[in-house]
Structure 1
Amino acid sequence: MSVVQDLNAIDVPRQFPDHTQLPESDGTFVKNFQEHPQSIILTDSIDPVLQRLHPDGLYAIGQDCGIYWRETEPPEKGAEAPDWFYVPRVPARVDGQIRRSYVLWREFITPTIVLEFASGNGSEERDATPLSRSAEGETIRPGKFWVYEQVMRIPYYGIYQITNGNLEVYHLVDTTYERMTPNDRGHYFIPPMQVELGLWRGSYSSHSEELWLRWWDESGNLLLTGHEEAEVQRERANVAEERANAAQERANVAEQEAQQEQQKRSQLTERLKSLSPEQLQALGISLELLD
């Protein structure tokens, strides 16, 4: 038997699939109308920070995208889809294509943080059920908390309950998630990203005043979205214009007052010139002062 025939006779396992070969959706509905705007706020406001941290552009942000951690049938059962996550040191595109999902067995770099926006009571997001088999031999799907903690080993995990505004942030210490304590501002510091995570009440897009998950810098300054930054710049320009207009108005008033004063002096001089020398002398005015 030839070498080629020998190779053909070997049962070689198929190559692990990549992001182009795996489903990009599990077919579930978006959980609520706030989910997409919430993701946009987080991405838009943090992007300048990540560009500074990664001047080479090597970082990726996922929004309701699958993170595949094991091969299953169907494939979606081997993935978790955080509402928002950030991965350092990887490109946003692979072979010129925008990522459809994030495949751990292809990348080997785990996300730094994952965030879940819970519409319910958060029990699904806190589910620590481990991967196991039933008495009948069927695989029991593990809970998100267990997968993020024990398999993906993601350093920071945030659960935001939209229904009641509760925010929980966990930090992986050794092999276990420990719930973090907020700082004096009520924020959670994420050292690898050099930012704080917390809740902010305000209006965004078409939504009336709501609680939103937001980023702050290490000094406690809110990181603005592009739209908010543009509004601030417009407001600054308006204030600068108002100040310039006020200064110009004051200059105009001062000029008018000076002109009026000069006019009064000219009129007085003309009146004094019409007087006789004797009258001027009686008033104690020298003729030389009128020249």
Structure 2
Amino acid sequence: MKFSLDVENNPTGWPDHTQLPESDGTFVKNFQEHPQSILLTDSITSILERIHADGNYCIGQDCGIYWRLTEPLEKGAEAPDWFYVPNVPPTLDGQLRRSYVMWKEFVSPLILLEFVSGNGTEERDRTPLLRSGKQETKAGKFWIYENVIHPAFYGIYEVSKASVEVYHLIEDRFELVAANDRGHYPIPQLGVELGIWQGMYQNAELPWLRWWDSQGNLLLTGSERAEQEQQIAQQERQRADRAEQELEQLRAQLRSAGIEPEL
């Protein structure tokens, strides 16, 4: 059974992001999730700002995507750990988004990412939404993303396995994407690649999920760029100091030979 929002026949007055819960009251599953989201957002912001000169895009980090109206309301949402939606404003009516409501905007995320904390069965659950009278099955997360929310790319990141599994939506079905020769997964619409980077970030040495450009260059965070610029400036100062030392040695040699060097 394929399920989709009936956007033409939705009743007027359906709630918007200001009227829907922004949390279901559950805890973030581990300390690594928030730094991982920040790392992804920080390092790709310069790319998105170049693509969206008008600033029309939004990024959700552990935010709800409402895809159906239920009771209680929060049961009608999935909360991906990270997602990006192109060509929508970051605020609505002057307010920061509390959630992303599919029946109000109809624009699907380009990429949606889940960070696995358990064994990954929840993120790969393909159980369909089936109704029988007033009873219905609970739809699996994978099924909801594939059949209702429709991100162009869906990534399942497992830090414990140092791996990411990427799916591409083709003709309304997710197809597993093969890694390129760098072990990365291209996202052509953004001109970037997604992959695993082993390194230190926010005081934790882990296999982090990160972006590269299409030439295989790691996209740096703001602090990494500042550190790189500082290192380059320091290297230039060291080269200038060495050049000055060599010049002074040459002057000393000329003087010892009775030649006064010109400045």
Q: TM-score, normalised by structure 1?
A: 0.83
2:59 match: 61
Q: How does 1:72-87 map to 2 (within 5 A)?
A: 72-87=70-85
Q: How does 1:80-99 map to 2 (within 5 A)?
A: 80-99=78-97
State whether residues 120 and 161 of structure 1, in contact with CA within 8 Å, keep that contact through their aligned partners in structure 2: no
2:36 match: 38
Choose the corresponding residue for 1:160, options 157, 161, 166: 157
Amino acid at match of 1:16: W
Per-residue CA deviation, residues 135-157 of structure 1 (Å, 9 max, x unaligned), is x7323221110111001111100
1:116 aligns with 2:120: no
Match of 2:142, SS state, is helix
Amino acid at match of 2:232: R
Per-residue CA deviation, residues 166-190 of structure 1 (Å, 9 max, x unaligned), is 2110001102111110000000001
Choose the corresponding residue for 1:217, options 213, 218, 241: 213
Match of 1:262, SS state, is coil
Structure 2: segments with no counterpart, 5+ residues? 1-10
1:190 match: 187
State whether residues 116 and 159 of structure 1, in contact with CA within 8 Å, keep that contact through their aligned partners in structure 2: yes
2:196 match: 199
2:17 match: 19
Match of 1:248, SS state, is helix
State whether residues 69 and 105 of structure 1, in contact with CA within 8 Å, keep that contact through their aligned partners in structure 2: yes
Structure 1: segments with no counterpart, 5+ residues? 1-12, 265-291
Q: Report the CA distance between 1:73 and its aligned residue.
A: 0.9
1:287 match: none
Mapped to 2, the partners of 1:185 and 1:43 lie a distance apart of 22
Mapped to 2, the partners of 1:79 and 1:37 lie a distance apart of 23
List, as ranges, runs of 4+ consecutive aligned residues in structure 1 with deviation greater than 6 Å: none
Mapped to 2, the partners of 1:194 and 1:105 lie a distance apart of 29
1:255 aligns with 2:244: no
Size of the aligned set, in residue pairs, is 250
Per-residue CA deviation, residues 199-237 of structure 1 (Å, 9 max, x unaligned), is 000000121x21000000000000000011111001001
Amino acid at match of 1:61: I
State whether residues 17 and 100 of structure 2, in contact with CA within 8 Å, keep that contact through their aligned partners in structure 1: yes
Q: Report the CA distance between 1:31 and its aligned residue.
A: 1.1
1:142 match: 139
Mapped to 2, the partners of 1:220 and 1:166 lie a distance apart of 18
Q: TM-score, normalised by structure 2?
A: 0.92
1:101 aligns with 2:109: no
State whether residues 86 and 112 of structure 1, in contact with CA within 8 Å, keep that contact through their aligned partners in structure 2: yes
State whether residues 85 and 108 of structure 2, in contact with CA within 8 Å, keep that contact through their aligned partners in structure 1: yes
State whether residues 63 and 82 of structure 1, in contact with CA within 8 Å, keep that contact through their aligned partners in structure 2: yes
State whether residues 44 and 211 of structure 2, in contact with CA within 8 Å, keep that contact through their aligned partners in structure 1: yes
Per-residue CA deviation, residues 54-81 of structure 1 (Å, 9 max, x unaligned), is 1111000000000001111111111000
Match of 1:163, SS state, is helix
State whether residues 86 and 109 of structure 2, in contact with CA within 8 Å, keep that contact through their aligned partners in structure 1: yes
Match of 2:258, SS state, is helix
Match of 1:114, SS state, is strand
The structure showing larger relative contact order (alpha-carbon pairs under 8 Å, at least 6 residues apart) is 2
